[in-house]
Structure 1
């Protein structure tokens, strides 16, 4: 790697770790930076997934008080994350770069739309959060499983869908939901990363630079999550996602 590539990956990693701690969307940044550094799309996706795993662990550590307080309630979602992350990673390996590359612009478009219409998504599911209906809980768990599989496969936009599913069951405590989201995302990435590493898709020099910088961003991003309006970060994520979607559709 050149010094410029190291700098780009370090900045991208720190930015992604911070974004994931606040609102999600960090995969947009690291995936793009890794593609720019010369990796094939499949390898860039796999390397990005592995590189962002420590950042999510750092964010879990920063949210340790919420995790300790609500750990029992998080266990079902944790199990879903482990299973779904494994299924998504296996699907990615099975497709290979030839099958994954044509999906990239559509996956980026889907993730960008989820971010852009996150408020409408939350309003749509808000009525389900009024009370503890069995059907509402079932819907939430089904959505979480789908999101977990998607997270193991690609990951961009997974945070907003998790928060939407969690709001069906719990409402009013953003930091509790955000802590649950970060814990589950971490578990998805642990399983996914293990399988992707076993599949030989991870480029370690690029991954190590991104790991170190994203872990710093993931830890300090929680402090920003408590003071920076979420809509500001989300607007930036949508802008980045829209730009990347356009680029990959034109490639």
Structure 2
């Protein structure tokens, strides 16, 4: 998420107020989710994951039709109560489990924030950094991180994050939206099959 955020830095600079507000909300949500995970690793929660992913994917796919059109000369309300609550819930999920969190965030941000896909993706990546950082600190304090596996995965994640933004900026938004929907459906069916 860090390299994706850096690749979108020019976009993030223009929405720093929204990013700051949602970043604080995300930090509290991630803290709650990570602490819940350390307190109770509930296997029955995993059964909900594919359903949550399918719901978020459907919401993201339908987003352009569900979001009310703003009045001429006005943008959709940014930092609304609904948007804040949705981001808090997504951050709790991200701190607790995290699989498909990006699709969930794009779905809720798409309905509660103004802007095109790249603006929303920039905001999503920055918020994901906050969520991951808080969760990692909690997991370090709980001594539950598999360091060897994590270190092996970091270079691939960093390269993929930067390359993903580079590619997303060069293809039509409808293609990127289709790709995100495809990934969401794939992850949902993966978790259905896993359980």
Task: Give TM-score, length-normalised by structure 1.
Answer: 0.67
Partner Cα distance (1:240, 1:86) in 2: 28
Q: 1:83 aligns with which of 24, 28, 34?
A: 28
Answer yes or no: is the 8 Å Cα contact 2:83–2:112 preserved in 1: yes
Runs of 4+ deviating beyond 6 Å: 132-136
Gaps of 5+ in 1: 1-55
Q: Could you tell me how far 1:235 is from its partner in structure 2?
A: 4.5
Partner Cα distance (1:127, 1:102) in 2: 36
Asked whether 1:244 is paired with 2:186, we answer no
Partner Cα distance (2:124, 2:130) in 1: 10
Partner Cα distance (1:231, 1:135) in 2: 22
Q: Could you tell me how far 1:117 is from its partner in structure 2?
A: 4.5
Q: 1:102 aligns with which of 31, 44, 52?
A: 44
More helix by share: 1
Asked whether 1:127 is paired with 2:65, we answer no
- Matching residue of 1:158: 101
Asked whether 1:118 is paired with 2:60, we answer yes
Give SS of 1:227's match.
coil
Answer yes or no: is the 8 Å Cα contact 1:114–1:160 preserved in 2: yes
Gaps of 5+ in 2: none
- Matching residue of 2:10: 65
When residues 121 and 95 of structure 1 are mapped into structure 2, their CA distance, relative to the original with a 3 A threshold, is farther
Answer yes or no: is the 8 Å Cα contact 1:87–1:149 preserved in 2: yes
Partner Cα distance (1:63, 1:85) in 2: 22
Partner Cα distance (2:70, 2:36) in 1: 32
When residues 122 and 89 of structure 1 are mapped into structure 2, their CA distance, relative to the original with a 3 A threshold, is farther
When residues 116 and 133 of structure 1 are mapped into structure 2, their CA distance, relative to the original with a 3 A threshold, is closer
- Matching residue of 1:198: 141
Q: 1:144 aligns with which of 62, 84, 87?
A: 87
Q: Could you tell me how far 1:184 is from its partner in structure 2?
A: 0.6
What is the total number of aligned residue pairs between the two structures?
A: 190
Answer yes or no: is the 8 Å Cα contact 2:78–2:113 preserved in 1: no
Q: Could you tell me how far 1:192 is from its partner in structure 2?
A: 0.4
Partner Cα distance (2:136, 2:44) in 1: 22
Answer yes or no: is the 8 Å Cα contact 1:91–1:153 preserved in 2: yes
Q: 2:165 aligns with which of 209, 222, 226?
A: 222
Q: In the TM superposition, what are the counterparts of 1:21-60 in structure 2 within 5 Å?
A: 56-60=1-5
Partner Cα distance (1:129, 1:156) in 2: 32
Task: Give TM-score, length-normalised by structure 2.
Answer: 0.85
